[in-house]
Amino acid sequence: MRSIRLQLMLSCGAAIAVMLAVLGGSLYLTLQHSLESQFNASLTARATLLVATLDWDPHRGFHITSDFTPVTDGHAHGMPRYFQIWTPRGKLVLHPPALGKRNLKFLAPARNAVRFAAVDLPDDHDGRELAIRFREGNSDDHEEDHHHDGSDHTGDIRNNRPADTGQTEHIGLDYILAVARPTDDLDHALSSIAWSLAISCSLATLLSAALIAWLVNRGFRPVDTIAEQIAGVGATRLKDRISTHNVPHELIPIVDRLNKLLERVEDAVIREKALTADMAHELRTPLAGLRTGAELALTRLRSSDEYQRTLRQSLDISVQMQEMVENLLTLARLEAGAWAQASENCPLDQMIQQHLQSCQESIISRAVTLDDSGVSPAVVKAPPELVLLVLRNVLDNAVSYVNKGGMIRVGLENGADAAILTVANTGSAISVQQSQQIFERFWRGDDSRTDHGRHSGLGLSIVQNVMRQIGGRVKVESCPGQWFTIVLLFPKHGGDGSHDVPR
């Protein structure tokens, strides 16, 4: 894949090359037009000079009346070397020896107009021809009858002389004069200009490409610096952040987001390390219990009742470990967003009552008073399995940690956009400060963490993740020795968790 740096250099280089080519072409066309205009003006001046020096004589035909003679160098004031004269109908009147057997092109310009054309001259020279129409003041015959056919050429300038027919003199006959000049000097000048412009534009393009490459590399230095800093961040240096010193203003938002990403990565790594440590700590106690029970059972022969008691203890520990693993798997699925069950309409009040019925035995055995009079009918849209997971963990938590002879109060308020569930139990052993840690994985209120019961410290962490996934909220309130309260908000039509939980 082409890099942005190379693509930028190629794009800028191509743009400059096109611009220089257009400028060079425009300059060449301007100079070409100027030089050709000068060449045409010089050719016109020669033709005008030649017309001024021509005279018609009935016996000699056209002849030059001044002292000018044809020259070969083609200077501005020299007599043209290559010229011919025709009648308007194309009959040749005058053919100079310099043309040899060649003829110029017959062009028929309008009166008071000129025409130009490219022509081949003797000695394989390229030339340009100018044709003009002029009028001779005196003549002895009609323009079609008083000239020969041009096949008889004598003298320095071969002239078709008219026959002496004695006809009345005719005045104001038109003739066409064609004057040609080699374009070697013009072609050489234009070729030199073209080569000079081509070489200049090529060198300018190369110089511009080098300058662009230097500027692009210089402009990408902050990006290279950021890349080096990112490459230096490793598993042992997660606290490092990308510096914004000497970073262009346009890159600061990217650097800030990279730093925030590194913060999230660091938090995730810290959580994973904590999870590993917590899992090792939590699994060490039940595994130690299994090993101790097995070792004691093997120290000597025991009765069948003692073996059964040891097996029951081992089974209870195994069940606890299995529930812990299942909770961990559930938590991992929730944090990864891999819960694919579709949302359905869930009658929240009915689901609460059903789960409370299953807890009746524990409630009665501990002489706990249950107040569920505040449960109003409410329907929310969410995955039923997730709702059951929340209700089971919240209600089991209240039944497990309520003090003996205490009270559990359950309330469900049906709001316009959300249903608010409140579960409270007396006998709270959680301080206000500890309530901020209640949703951490493997955290329990007892500092010794020696609880071998069914609770592993994952229930409320699962509740928080579920509520976040379905767009709800959860918070806890604790008054030591009195009430421990969990408040949950269930969006009735799904949501993004933007509702506020009432205090």
Select the more confidently predicted residue: 469 or 214.
214
Instruction: List the Cα angle 438/289/401 in 5-degree steps.
Output: 30
Considering the domain architecture, whether residues 233 and 182 belong to the same structural domain is answered as no
Binning pLDDT at 50, 70 and 90, where does residue 197 land? very high
DSSP secondary structure letter of residue 66: S
Considering the domain architecture, whether residues 261 and 133 belong to the same structural domain is answered as no
The answer to whether position 424 is within a domain reads: yes
Considering the domain architecture, whether residues 351 and 461 belong to the same structural domain is answered as yes
The answer to whether position 210 is within a domain reads: no
The answer to whether position 307 is within a domain reads: yes
The answer to whether position 5 is within a domain reads: no
Considering the domain architecture, whether residues 369 and 305 belong to the same structural domain is answered as no
Rounded distance, CA 154 to CA 151, Å? 10
Considering the domain architecture, whether residues 258 and 329 belong to the same structural domain is answered as yes
The answer to whether position 3 is within a domain reads: no
Rounded distance, CA 43 to CA 47, Å? 6
Binning pLDDT at 50, 70 and 90, where does residue 337 land? low
Considering the domain architecture, whether residues 350 and 331 belong to the same structural domain is answered as no
Binning pLDDT at 50, 70 and 90, where does residue 147 land? very low
The per-residue pLDDT for range 257-316, each reduced to its tens digit, is 988 988 888 887 887 777 677 677 667 778 888 888 888 888 888 888 888 988 988 888
CATH of the domain at 362: 3.30.565.10
End position of a domain, from candidates 166, 190, 214: 190
Considering the domain architecture, whether residues 381 and 438 belong to the same structural domain is answered as yes
pTM to 2 decimals?
0.49
Provide mean pLDDT across the span 123-141. Answer: 76
End position of a domain, from candidates 290, 319, 338: 338
Considering the domain architecture, whether residues 32 and 120 belong to the same structural domain is answered as yes
The answer to whether position 6 is within a domain reads: no
Q: If 0-12 CB within 10 Å is exposed, 13-18 middle and 19+ buried, where does residue 413 land?
A: middle
Q: Check pLDDT > 50 for residue 349.
A: yes
The answer to whether position 425 is within a domain reads: yes
Rounded distance, CA 314 to CA 210, Å? 78
Considering the domain architecture, whether residues 151 and 185 belong to the same structural domain is answered as yes
Considering the domain architecture, whether residues 482 and 355 belong to the same structural domain is answered as yes
The per-residue pLDDT for range 416-470, each reduced to its tens digit, is 888 999 999 998 877 777 767 677 766 655 543 344 445 556 778 778 888 888 8
End position of a domain, from candidates 190, 208, 237: 190
Q: How many domains does the chain have?
A: 3
| Domain extent for 454 | 340-491
Considering the domain architecture, whether residues 88 and 113 belong to the same structural domain is answered as yes
Residue 121 pairs in a beta bridge with: 125
Considering the domain architecture, whether residues 182 and 253 belong to the same structural domain is answered as no
Report the SS3 class of residue 134.
strand
Q: Check pLDDT > 80 for residue 58.
A: no
The per-residue pLDDT for range 150-188, each reduced to its tens digit, is 333 333 444 444 444 333 343 458 889 999 999 999 999
The answer to whether position 331 is within a domain reads: yes
pLDDT at 341: 66
pLDDT at 442: 65
Q: Where are the alpha helices (DSSP H) in 337-371?
A: 348-358, 360-365
Q: If 0-12 CB within 10 Å is exposed, 13-18 middle and 19+ buried, where does residue 101 land?
A: exposed
